[in-house]
A = this chain, B = another copy of it.
Amino acid sequence: MKGSLTIVGLGPGPKDWMTGAATATVDAATDILGYEAYVRRLVPGSDQSVHIFDNREELHRARRALELAVEGRRVALVSGGDPGVFGMAAAVFEAVETGPPAWRALDIRVEPGVTGMLAAAARLGAPLGHDFCAISLSDNLKPWTLIERRLQLAAEADFVIALYNPASKARPDQIVRAFQLLRHYRPDTTPVMLARAVGRPDEDITVTTLGAAGSHVADMRTLVIIGSSATSMIPRPDGRPWVYTPRSVEVS
């Protein structure tokens, strides 16, 4: 058997947000690799080998997946959301670039999925309805000064801003610092949305404003969206407001 590696996006949580192609790829794999929380969502067959990894071992996990493909296994490396957005795909290609030349000849594929900001936006209305950017707020892999610079330029560009990894136990305050920075560029009335565990039983969605956002809690399972100057809230008789960003910009 000729080996292969597919990095598969499982979507943001529930199985019915997986694509048909992602499901088929996982079902056809001889080996399923992934972080425990993602592998636990699946029901592997008795003939499938399951390899569970710690969340901090991304390059190690990528290399192991490549090694198994070289050995002729049909490998599915699973990733939450979309594997290409702050997921496992970049880790695999980093491993390929720095690894043995044989890895470049492997059959490697990426199966896209619904990334977290799309699911969060769907719950909220259409906050990403106009130009936007996605920034990971984790400074494990980049300097905080670069994050601040990107936030500032994104605000100047009047992008809607989606923040992945807004906070963790080790860095609970960075999201608050991001809100403080953005207050210099956008009014306190700007819609701010915190979407935690979207699609899971403990889903929790908050719509607030930039002026009031500081005290809200975010963690690694939260996606934060900050509106542009055009983002609008539509009050509803029941429940939280819809939030959307119009497709058009008036010429002022």
**Residues of A near any B CB (own CB < 8 A):** 9, 11, 14-21, 23-24, 58, 82-87, 89-94, 96-97, 104-105, 108-115, 118-119, 121-123, 125-136, 141-143, 146, 149-150, 153-154, 156-159, 232, 234-238, 242, 244-249, 251
A230 to chain B minimum Cβ distance, whole angstroms, is 10
Find out whether the CB atom of B11 lies under 8 angstroms from the CB atom of A16. Answer: no
Find out whether the CB atom of B19 lies under 8 angstroms from the CB atom of A234. Answer: no
Besides the known contacts A82-B114, A84-B127, 18 further A-B residue pairs in the complex with CB atoms under 8 A apart: A9-B118, A14-B21, A82-B118, A90-B129, A90-B130, A94-B244, A96-B234, A97-B234, A104-B234, A112-B114, A112-B121, A113-B114, A132-B134, A133-B133, A133-B157, A142-B248, A150-B158, A153-B154
Find out whether the CB atom of B122 lies under 8 angstroms from the CB atom of A247. Answer: no
Task: Name which residue of chain B comes closest to A103, CB basis.
Answer: B234
From B90, B104, B118, give the contact of A84 (CB < 8 A): B118
Find out whether the CB atom of B244 lies under 8 angstroms from the CB atom of A93. Answer: yes
| Copies of this polypeptide in the complex | 2
Task: Name which residue of chain B comes closest to A105, CB basis.
Answer: B237
A20 to chain B minimum Cβ distance, whole angstroms, is 4
Find out whether the CB atom of B244 lies under 8 angstroms from the CB atom of A89. Answer: yes
A144 to chain B minimum Cβ distance, whole angstroms, is 10
A154-B157, A234-B96 given; A114·B19 CB < 8 A: yes
A146 to chain B minimum Cβ distance, whole angstroms, is 6
16 intermolecular pairs with C-beta atoms under 8 Å apart: A11-B19, A16-B19, A20-B20, A84-B126, A84-B127, A86-B247, A89-B126, A93-B244, A94-B244, A94-B246, A104-B236, A105-B236, A131-B136, A150-B157, A150-B158, A153-B154
Most buried by B among A58, A82, A251: A82
